[in-house]
Structure 1
Amino acid sequence: MGMKYLYLFFVIISVCRFSSLEAQELNLVYSTEFQHNLHGKANWVNLLTVKGTWPTENAGLWKDGSFDLATISVFRSSKERIVDDMQVFSNIDEHTLLVNLFIAGYTHRINRIRMFLGVRNMNEDYFNIPYSSLFTNSSCGVYPTISCNYICANYPLSAMCFFSEVKITNQLTYTNSLYNGVAYDIWHDGCKLFSINPKRDGVMNVGELAFSTGVQYQSRYHLGGLFHTGHLNPEENNRRMPFNYVGWLLAEQDVYVGEKEKIGLLAQASFAPENKNYCYSYIGAGVVASGLFSASKKDKLGLMVNSARFADVRETTAELTWSVPVSKYMVLQPAFHWIQTGEDIYTIGMLRAVFNIGFPRK
């Protein structure tokens, strides 16, 4: 336990040290969520994210670089989840975790190229485009063909990573992330979070080509893939898992644009080898209407339906959610989930509040 507190002390000292630099940007996001399964079980989940960027130039060093640090802390009132769904209906629901590093490393930019080396989480770079990000179901983030098959750098875990992004044209971008093959959290796994161990953990590479276009009617199309060389599985006498891979598609398209109103469609799909993976297919489709139902014209109403195939069950879900800014710093988001897992059906109501506070210094 002493080493865990030492790591936490190191993080705090690093934040205090960087805070002396001028023109830093700090951002604090607190999400709190009440969940009820409409049959007596309830849960309260909280996520605190602190993120900072410190440009090297402001420290009297070189240009075009920055030190980046982000931490997460999770608190859940109940040790158990309120339903036994496979995809996890809430993308912030997780066991209580005092602290973990989400991002910790160095970013450098050279013209149209951005590179990063350090601890990183997949949620920072993939699947987090506007319409998909509205929904609270975890599968609208990292797809279950990834999250259910790999111990990867997916919330709340992170891993050492070499990340690169190349802006090929103004509309076309290629993103690539080479991760240590198994992800960890600093509180329970200590220095394993900083390890690069291909023999034990293998390596995982994620690549995605993204195309976006349009000024009024915007389009976003993503084609991605992942491969994993295989890691030692301690639950099976350290048997090495085989080489594995996943492919996916993600598309968002505006179909109506008014003065302040907008309606868009989204589609998601992902497939993996059935003989190697617990979750081997996922498809989803949804519609998002923005600025139609509030005086501020900044609300977003969304309906999403998806289906995932697992080795032993099929799960279909539907989510209706409405995100409403109530102030400069606060957003309220009620959501209703209908879930069918095999023969079991769950209904869940939830209310999420998100507080976002930035601390820029000029």
Structure 2
Amino acid sequence: MRENLIFLWLVIAVSLQADNDSTKQASPFLFTASYVGENVFNLSGGIKTGYNYLGFANLNLTFDTEKADLWIDGEFFINAANTHGKTPSENMFGDLQTASNIEAGNHIYLQELWYRHHFEKVELTVGLQDMNAEFANTENGGLFLNSSFGIPPTFSLNLHAPIFPLTSLGITAKWQISDRFIWLNGVYDGTPTDFGKNPYNINWQFKKGDGILGVSEMQYLSQNKQWPGTYKLGIFAHNHVIERIFINLPDSLDTNTWGLYGIIDQQIWQLNNKKINGFLQIGYSPSEVSANDFYLGAGMNFTGFLCKTHDDELGIAIAHAHLAHANESETAIELTWHKPLLRYFYLQPDIQYIIHPSGKSSGLKNVLAAFLRFGFEF
């Protein structure tokens, strides 16, 4: 608890310094900070009803080598993070998709540490990376709290992928083929060293059996001014040694886990300061050890409809994950509203209804959960 408070004070101090620095445009250093807090209530169903609090703090430092008069087109980035609070999906809801995308337990750690070099049409990044920062994300899905709208469970349930909260070393390349096409490729340590052996994520170990995770994604950017959209199609493959997960598997298995995914972000309608956006996610992973072999997510965002300032965003979405070995499914339906207040602060009330958490055979009743998220961004 003491370490969490110290980290939060650092977030506040860095934020105030960044805001008051009148020369920050000329400085090679760029400091940013954020804090997200969440009040979580399980109103019915799941493991038990009750209340939890979660928090997530970030400190970011970017160093521009050109502004420092070292060399052009270079960039270093450090992201330090602190997660604290309870684990409602584990202790209250019993769901697999994880209803809150900041649930991670109590940790102070390094989330990212990388160097990026910009060539004419290619960006090359080397170091400790969050794969989801580049791959398999949806801009419109980012409004929602459920983790599946951040990254499909074909990654999060099937792999030890380098995503929040625990990342790993990797190399990624982003090629701007044209104004419309972007090609992303990444290779990562297939199994990040867990917090038990790596509490601050600075003890990186590439061990036999970790394997390699490779991801490739093609993006198409629509140039239609009236109906702008982004379309993504990706494939991933992960070779690793796993311990027994399911009763019909041996004690260990040298296996390949692979899958495909597609994501669409599309503007549907706009009039003056009001607009409607939609998104669609599809994931498929038929490997024998895949817990989630098929995923379908979709949602709509309504911007500027409820407030005269037209800066609020209302969203409704559904995430459906099929559980392969049980031949069952878990489905989450989410309704959320994001409202900026003052300069840096926002509030976000949220309701989720989770059908068959962990599958029907778990015996858990459907969950009705309520969230009140708030955040500071500097």
TM-score after normalising by structure 2: 0.84
**Structure 1's 180 and 208: CA in aligned 2 closer, same or farther, altered over 3 A?**
same
Distance 1:201 1:237 in 2: 18
- Give the conservation status (yes or no) of the 8 Å contact 2:256–2:287: no
Task: Please list, as runs of the form range in 1=range in 2, the aligned pairs for 1:126-275 lying within 5 A after superposition.
Answer: 126-184=135-193, 188-189=197-198, 193-197=203-207, 199-213=208-222, 214-233=224-243, 239-273=252-286, 275=288
Measured after TM superposition, the shift of residue 196 of structure 1 is 3.7
SS of the residue corresponding to residue 139 of structure 1 reads helix
Cα distance in 2 for residues equivalent to 1:193 and 1:206: 24
Per-residue deviation, 1:93: 1.2
Range moving further from structure 2, 237-246 or 291-300: 237-246
Take 2:179 and 2:129, find their aligned partners in 1: how far apart are those partners? 25
Q: Unmatched 5+ residue regions in structure 2?
A: 1-6, 8-13, 15-20
How much has 1:129 moved relative to structure 2? 3.2
Q: Which residue of 2 aligns with 1:318?
A: 333
- C-alpha separation in 1, matches of 2:132 and 2:236: 14
Percent identical across equivalent pairs?
Answer: 25
Cα drift, residue 274 of structure 1: 5.2
- Structure-to-structure mapping, 1:5-24, within 5 angstroms: 22-24=27-29
Corresponding position of 2:370: 349
Displacement of 1:165 = 0.5
Corresponding position of 1:360: none
Does the residue aligned with 1:230 lie in a helix, a strand or coil? strand
The residue identity in structure 2 corresponding to 1:24 is F
What residue in structure 2 maps to residue 336 of structure 1?
351
CA distance in 2, matches of 1:127, 1:84: 25
Aligned partners of 1:100 and 1:156 also within 8 Å:
no
- The structure-2 alpha-carbon separation of the partners of 1:78 and 1:279, relative to structure 1 and needing over 3 Å to count, comes to closer
- The number of residue pairs the alignment matches comes to 339
**Residue in structure 2 matched with residue 122 of structure 1 by the alignment:** 131
Output one character per residue of 1:164-201: Cα deviation in whole Å (capped at 9) or x when no partner. 1111111211111100010135674267753344x331
Residue 92 of structure 2 is matched in structure 1 by 82
Name the counterpart of 2:34. 29
**Larger CA deviation: 84-93 vs 215-224:** 215-224
Matched, 1:309 2:309: no
Contact 1:265-1:288 at 8 Å conserved across structures: yes
Query: In structure 2, the residue corresponding to 1:146 is in which secondary structure?
Result: helix
Query: What is the letter of the counterpart of residue 32 of structure 2?
Result: N
Give the CA deviation at 1:314. 0.9
Please name the residue that 2:4 is paired with. none
CA separation in 2, counterparts of 1:170 and 1:319?
A: 34
Stretches of structure 1 lacking an aligned partner (at least 5 in a row): 1-7, 9-14, 358-362
In 1, distance between residues paired with 2:137 and 2:286?
A: 25
CA distance in 2, matches of 1:101, 1:77: 20
Give the residue type in structure 2 aligned to 1:152: A
Q: Find the counterpart in structure 1 of residue 70 from structure 2.
A: 61
- Matched to 1:224, the amino acid is G
Counterpart CA distance in 1 for 2:255 and 2:194 is 24
Deviations 1:280-314 (A, max 9, x none): 11001211111111122111111101210112231
Structure 2 equivalent of residue 50 of structure 1 = 59
- Report the residue type matching 2:289 in the other structure: K
Aligned CA distance change for structure 1 residues 188 and 76 (closer, same or farther; 3 Å): farther
Opposite residue 137 of structure 1, the aligned amino acid is: N
Contact 2:296 2:319 in 1 (8 A): yes
Q: Deviations over 1:79-138 (max 9, x none)?
A: 8532101101110112111x2222102110001111111001122112433211111110
> In 2, are the aligned partners of 1:186 and 1:192 still within 8 Å (CA)?
no
RMSD: 2.5
Would the alpha carbon gap of residues 216 and 182 (structure 1) be closer, same or farther in structure 2, given more than 3 Å must change?
same
The alignment partner of 1:155 has SS state of coil
Q: How far apart are residue 237 of structure 1 and its match? A: 9.2
- Partner amino acid for 1:321? T
| Separation in 2, partners of 1:164, 1:34 | 38
Contact 1:159–1:193 (CA<8 Å) still a contact in 2? no
Q: Secondary structure at the match of 2:283?
A: strand
Work out whether 1:96 is the aligned partner of 2:109.
no
* CA distance in 1 between partners of 2:376 and 2:277 (Å): 26
State the partner residue of 1:281: 294
| Contact kept? 1:44, 1:77, Cα under 8 Å | yes
User: Deviations 1:219-262 (Å, cap 9, x if unpaired)?
Assistant: 11110111011235398998343011011011121111111111
